[in-house]
Structure 1
Amino acid sequence: MRHKISVVIPALNEEKNIKPLTLKIIKVLKKNKFEIIFVDDSSTDQSKKILLALSKKYKFFKPIFRKKSRDLTQSCFDGIKKSKYQNILILDADLQHDPKYIPKMFKEFNKGKDIVIGARKLTSGKNKGLSETRRFASVFLIFLFKVFYIQTKDPMSGFFLFKKDIYLKNENRFFGKGFKILADLLINSKAKLKTKDVFIDFNRRYESESKMNIKILLILIQFYVTSLIKKLLT
């Protein structure tokens, strides 16, 4: 089945990954109508130059250059607002999310799911792309988020497929900042969303460094506390 899809990719200093990822996406989606929206979050490397060159080469390639304060969730929101198709795929720019899983995700999506998640295998030793420290942090965070009864094994994933209407109908309800847009969608959408996990091999990061830092962790804690208070008051 052919699909129309907007691929939204938040990016910060990913100059070495932009073109390889773009070529992988083109290969997977070549039989579909699609657009690729890289949202550059004020990179300081050669990302802008590469993105502009690709936009001249491909009509479906539409970069966005943010000049606001850096924030992955807001980058995703900016991309979603600019998208022209109802099917939205979010994935990271660092090649840790392999586009080869997109057809399998669409197969599940067509069964009437609201969100299909590329879920990481978080059992120790199952994923070479995930350090033991990061795996433990993800498992701990997922444990905390169980209070919200989220129907996924990996609410921390940055690789997922959903309908644009979910964003449009809940835009004013989202926490709207930080690194975990998926958890925001799942927790703060008004209606309970039907989800499905597609388990993926999480690739090793090759040409960029993790963006995770203390500031981002503090925002994540703020998100958790804010969402928990909202849940208790409703």
Structure 2
Amino acid sequence: MNKDMAALPTQPDTALCDIRYTAGISIIVPTYREAENIPHLLRRINRVRKDTGLTLEVLFMDDASDDGSIEAVATSGFDWARIIVRDGGRGLSPSVIEGFAAARYPVLVCMDCDLSHPPEAIPKFVLALHTGQQFVIGSRYVPGGSTDDDWGFFRWLNSFIATVLARPLTTVRDPMSGFFALRKSDFDTARGLNPIGYKIALELIVKCGFENVGEVPIHFSDRCFGDSKLTLAEQLRYIQHLRRLYMFQFAGMMYLAQFLVVGASGVVVNLSILSLLFWAGLPEWLCFAGGIGVSLMTNFLLNRRFTFSYARHEPILRQFLGFASAALLGLVVNYAVALSLRMSVFEEGAFALQLSALTGVAAGMGFNFLGARYLVFRKRFIRK
């Protein structure tokens, strides 16, 4: 679990000016229709470069804006700034990953182009890395951090909920921040990066296994030019991203939790089909069989699509036969455990029969999960 270092102490200007990363810093800025902001950002970064003597480059990763962004960089007069126009689909996180891979220097900084992130904080990021931090975040929520006054309640609530949902993954106070720094050597060790949406910092903290995460207080400003890219679709992608990270961090628990949720939905399907067939006047034995059969199929399809989604491209018929066999064996385990406990452990008592039955259900469910997880949808045999 990542440890929050809280706010890093503010260093005097003389200490910041003494920092020299002669090997250089690469500042990655994902952009989409930010031509108006580019000149302002570059001028502020240039002042930081002159004041501190830091060697740096700025790499704009542009999602084919076609709004004059290329010209804004070309006419800026700063030979340490360049722009790469991406050919693939748009996306902030993929842009950052590609930018990190293309960076020339061993220290990586990511920031937005909308002037919400203060480039004046970058020397403090470098200082924190220089003093042993693995990952440094520009934080709004540590002492000294702040946001503009006109944020509004709903914007604050959205940020608060997103942060709470990420809490099991990290104790960092502002994991939603898009302003952060790390070493390129640490980034190069990351495996299985699969970010979606706009929360790339959280992806890196989890996937790189960072233990020492520092937070530098910043003032988060509202954008001056252009439109916000935070849409409802992006927020929904964040939920999807969280699910992926939970699966990465707590794989066993998440597989089991989803399996149980699907199993609960199967109970609803079973009872619904049984009732419909009974109301249609069919024999009871056929009603029971119909409910079991339909719920078995829905459970299989839901587990294949969501619980064990990595296996959904494998042959479906073979998987279904394996799933049905595991379910049948699970029923046998259920019955055998319940009967055995009734005869040996729960021989007497007001709810002896019910306790035996519940224990049998738990054993059968556990057997079904293990069979599905390690036999039917076995991950190590899935083609990459």
Larger helix proportion, structure 1 or 2? 2
Alignment of 1:80-159 (within 5 A): 80-121=100-141, 126-128=146-148, 130-148=151-169, 150-159=170-179
Consecutive aligned runs of 4 or more in structure 1 exceeding 4 Å deviation: none
Counterpart residue number, 2:206: 187
Is 1:49 aligned to 2:68, yes or no? no
Structure 2, gaps ≥5 residues long: 1-18, 253-384
- Indicate the larger mover: 86-95 or 220-229: 220-229
Post-superposition offset of 1:211: 0.1
Q: Which has the higher contact order (CA 8 A, sep 6+)?
A: 1
Counterpart residue number, 2:99: 79
What letter is aligned with 1:38?
A: F
Post-superposition offset of 1:137: 0.9
Structure 1, gaps ≥5 residues long: none
Alignment CA distance shift 1:192-1:46 (3 Å): closer
Alignment CA distance shift 1:131-1:64 (3 Å): farther
Counterpart residue number, 1:232: 250
Counterpart residue number, 2:194: 175
TM-score by length of 1: 0.91
Asked if the contact 2:142–2:217 (Cα under 8 Å) also holds between the matched residues in 1, the reply is no
Post-superposition offset of 1:74: 0.8
Asked if the contact 1:88–1:164 (Cα under 8 Å) also holds between the matched residues in 2, the reply is yes
Asked if the contact 2:135–2:210 (Cα under 8 Å) also holds between the matched residues in 1, the reply is no
Number of equivalenced pairs: 227
Report SS of the residue matched to 1:173. Answer: coil
- Distance in 2 of aligned mates of 1:165 and 1:106: 15
- Distance in 1 of aligned mates of 2:250 and 2:102: 34
Asked if the contact 2:111–2:178 (Cα under 8 Å) also holds between the matched residues in 1, the reply is yes
Counterpart residue number, 2:36: 16
Post-superposition offset of 1:122: 8.3
Larger radius of gyration: 2
- Distance in 1 of aligned mates of 2:207 and 2:127: 26
Identity over aligned pairs, percent: 27
